[in-house]
Amino acid sequence: MATLMDPTSRLSAPKATSGNAPSHSPPDTRYAPGLSLARGLGWFSIGLGLAELLAPEEMAEWTGTRRPHLMQLYGLREIVCGLGILNSSQPIAWMWARSAGDALDMATLGVALCEDDGEHDRILASMAAVAGVAALDVVACTELTLAASLEG
């Protein structure tokens, strides 16, 4: 049980102000809105990235894109973003990188949709899944960016 003499740790240590002004501690960014969502998306990103990297043919078939080498590159991108999110105290840039990746995924799926290979149902389902995750990414990005702007 935490007491006043044993406070829970903070991401940033309080800094005293100089002069006669009162001392103010920096905001506790560990509990910033969107941070837990970002962490969850970081873990999701690593899991998806591993699937794309280790089983590119299956992922390409499931999504309807038929580009296994591109799947592996996208898998690396997902893993890097996921690790960046989980290893950063303020993962705003990494979350925006995830959002940019979502746009790239949608563009790739859009190109695949224009090709006449009979995989339209799979591609549309993949686009719906990417759109759902992209919405979560944008929510987390917006909340983290707002929290950072209020911080100073």
Give residue 11's pLDDT. Answer: 46
What domain range includes position 102? 32-151
Band the pLDDT of 149: cuts 50, 70, 90.
Answer: confident
In three-state secondary structure terms, 4 is coil
Contacts of residue 138, defined as CB under 8 A and 6 or more positions apart, other chains included, come to 99
Asked whether residue 7 is assigned to any structural domain, the reply reads no
**What is the tens place of the pLDDT at every residue in 57-98?**
999 999 998 889 999 999 999 999 999 999 998 899 999 999
Give residue 24's pLDDT. Answer: 54
* Rounded Cα–Cα distance for residues 107 and 120 (Å): 15
Nearest to 136, CA basis, from 33, 29, 30, 34:
34
Q: Residue 22 is encoded by which pair of tokens?
A: 């009162």
Asked whether residue 6 is assigned to any structural domain, the reply reads no
Asked whether residue 98 is assigned to any structural domain, the reply reads yes
Asked whether residue 36 is assigned to any structural domain, the reply reads yes
Place of tokens 């089983």: 55
Asked whether residue 102 is assigned to any structural domain, the reply reads yes
Q: What are phi and psi of 39, to 5 degrees?
A: -65, -45
In three-state secondary structure terms, 59 is helix
Mean per-residue pLDDT, 23-34:
60
Asked whether residue 137 is assigned to any structural domain, the reply reads yes
* Rounded Cα–Cα distance for residues 143 and 122 (Å): 32
Asked whether residue 119 is assigned to any structural domain, the reply reads yes
Give residue 4's pLDDT. Answer: 43
Asked whether residue 41 is assigned to any structural domain, the reply reads yes
Could you tell me the pTM of the whole model? 0.78
Band the pLDDT of 147: cuts 50, 70, 90.
Answer: confident
Band the pLDDT of 2: cuts 50, 70, 90.
Answer: very low
Number of domains the chain contains: 1
